Structure 1
Amino acid sequence: MRIDLHTHSKASDGTDTPAELVRNAAAAGLDVVALTDHDTTRGHAEAIAALPAGLTLVTGAEISCRIDGVGMHLLAYLFDPEEPEFLRERELLRDDRVPRAQTMVRTLQELGVPITWEHVARIAGDASLGRPHIATALVELGVVETVSDAFTPEWLADGGRAYAEKHELDAFKAIRLVKQAGGVTVFAHPQAVKRGEVVPESTIGDFAAYGLDGIEVDHMDHDAPTRARLRTLAADLGLLATGSSDYHGSRKFVELGECTTDPEVYGEITRRATGAFPVPGAGGR
């Protein structure tokens, strides 16, 4: 059983439509895929309508958080998307993305980059706008070679020259809201050091005591020693250890199912969730 619990569609900063994503997941031999767009659930209905037979969809979102000045992402699975308080916070997170991106575009212009807001907006379309859309514009302008190359202190990394703050949830509040909505929480790529400063392991212990369910261990941004250390940390703290591709379509050089989650861990996630249930494919359309 092949399970990928972290993917993105055009509803945020991926390049596949939600329908394309689930069809590509089935073609890649996955049995279960989670759609976890940034701060939004807008892609879920389209993904469910197109869900091929033999593929199960886990609904979710990747929530923008901050703790002690450090940005982090929290994967939220199988929550009730209509729970009022969590819905209100997701809308605040999503709405702040446009002014934040406009600030970064202005900063890049001041740094001499011939980027325009119209260019970035065209790339983003109707998506929940994020830094990868700006990074894509930098690639198209020849400023950097790849999207990943834009996420450096020179450009868009946390604290980088063109970085701008955005509205982010306090991480403890985010855990509470997801649990309140019946969901399950997993700390996404907790040691992705190339993206910027990371949360210390002692704080992950505090999250565990507060109700965090798991940490994403097997991820493209974690090398082998990091994965081994995180797996030990998860065992010590009683946390679930997941694995995921963090697929963004053609925006990143990673394939669906490149990292996967153990079926027993997936089973435990579904047992803990009370806000929603995995959706089995019925053939799509």
Structure 2
Amino acid sequence: MRIDLHTHSTASDGTDSPAELVRAAGAAGLDVVALTDHDTTRGHAEALAALPPGLTLVTGAELSCRYDGIGMHMLAYLFDPEEPALLAERELVRDDRVPRAQGMIAKLNGLGVPVTWEQVARIAGDGSVGRPHIATALVELGVVETVSDAFTREWLADGGRAHMTKHETDPFEALRLIKGAGGVAVFAHPAASKRGRTVPESALAELAEAGLDGIEVDHMDHDPDTRARLRGLAKELGLLVTGSSDYHGSRKSCVPGEFTTDPEVYGEITRRATGAFPVPGAGGA
């Protein structure tokens, strides 16, 4: 059984539509895929309508959080998408994305980069605008070669010359909201240092005490030594260990199922969730 619990569509910063994403997941031989767009569940209906036979969809979202001034992401699985408190917080985070992107564009202009809001909005389409869309604009302009090259301190990384902060949820509040909506919470790529500063591993004990269910260990941004260390920490703290591709379509080099989650861990996630349930595909258009 092959399970990938972290993917993105055009509902946020992926390049595949939700329908294209589930078809790609099925073609890759996955049995279970989670759609976890940034701070939104907008792609779930389309993904469910197109879900191919043999593939089960786990609904979720990747929530933008900030711990002691450091950005982090919390994967929320199988929560009630209409629960008012979590819905309001997701909308607050999403609504701050546009002025933040416009501020980053202004900073880039000040650095001599002729990126425009119209260009970034075209790239984002109907998705929640974010740094990957601005990074794609920099690739189009020939400023950097790849999207990853834009996520440095020279450009868009945390603390970078063109970076701007946005509203991000306190992770302890995020855990409270996720649990209140019947969901399961997993700390996404906690040691992805290429993206900028990471939350100190000492904080994992606090987060576990506050209700964190697991940590995403097997991820393209974690080398083998990091994965081994995180596995040890998860065992010490009684946390679940997940693995995922963090697939973004053509915006990243990873493919669906590049890393996967153990079926027993997936079973435990579904047992803990009360807000929603995985949906098996019956054949979509």
What's the TM-score, normalizing by structure 2?
A: 1.00
Partner of 2:153: 153
**Given residue 183 of structure 2, which amino acid in structure 1 is its aligned partner?**
G
Tell me the distance in 1 between the aligned counterparts of 2:266 and 2:198. Answer: 26
Helix, strand or coil for the counterpart of 1:174?
Answer: helix
Partner of 1:134: 134
1:55 aligns with 2:55: yes
Partner of 1:182: 182
Partner of 1:29: 29
1:218 aligns with 2:218: yes
Helix, strand or coil for the counterpart of 2:202?
Answer: helix
Structure 2 gap ranges (5+): none
Tell me the distance in 1 between the aligned counterparts of 2:44 and 2:249. Answer: 17
Shift of 1:207: 0.2
1:259 aligns with 2:259: yes
**Given residue 93 of structure 2, which amino acid in structure 1 is its aligned partner?**
L
Tell me the distance in 2 between the aligned counterparts of 1:136 and 1:283. Answer: 33
1:268 aligns with 2:258: no
Partner of 1:164: 164
Tell me the distance in 2 between the aligned counterparts of 1:205 and 1:161. Answer: 33
Partner of 1:40: 40
**Given residue 276 of structure 1, which amino acid in structure 2 is its aligned partner?**
A
Tell me the distance in 1 between the aligned counterparts of 2:182 and 2:260. Answer: 24
**Given residue 142 of structure 1, which amino acid in structure 2 is its aligned partner?**
G
Tell me the distance in 2 between the aligned counterparts of 1:4 and 1:146. Answer: 25
Aligned length: 285
Tell me the distance in 2 between the aligned counterparts of 1:274 and 1:116. Answer: 44
Shift of 1:201: 1.1
Shift of 1:152: 0.3
Helix, strand or coil for the counterpart of 1:99?
Answer: helix
Partner of 1:204: 204
Deviations 1:199-244 (A, max 9, x none): 1111111000111000000000000000000000000000000000
Partner of 2:89: 89
Tell me the distance in 2 between the aligned counterparts of 1:16 and 1:163. Answer: 26
Deviations 1:153-200 (A, max 9, x none): 000001100000000000100011000000000000000001111111
Helix, strand or coil for the counterpart of 2:250?
Answer: helix
Partner of 2:249: 249
Tell me the distance in 1 between the aligned counterparts of 2:260 and 2:87. Answer: 29
Tell me the distance in 2 between the aligned counterparts of 1:147 and 1:110. Answer: 20
Shift of 1:40: 0.1
**Given residue 4 of structure 2, which amino acid in structure 1 is its aligned partner?**
D
Partner of 1:103: 103
Helix, strand or coil for the counterpart of 1:165?
Answer: coil
Aligned residues with identical type, % of pairs: 80
Helix, strand or coil for the counterpart of 2:107?
Answer: helix
Pairwise CA RMSD of aligned residues?
Answer: 0.4
Tell me the distance in 2 between the aligned counterparts of 1:284 and 1:83. Answer: 27
Helix, strand or coil for the counterpart of 1:33?
Answer: strand
Partner of 1:284: 284
Shift of 1:25: 0.2
**Given residue 206 of structure 2, which amino acid in structure 1 is its aligned partner?**
D
Tell me the distance in 1 between the aligned counterparts of 2:256 and 2:190. Answer: 20
Partner of 2:68: 68
What's the TM-score, normalizing by structure 1?
A: 1.00
Shift of 1:39: 0.2
Partner of 1:113: 113
Tell me the distance in 2 between the aligned counterparts of 1:221 and 1:162. Answer: 23
Deviations 1:84-141 (A, max 9, x none): 0000000001111000000000000000001111100100011011000000000010
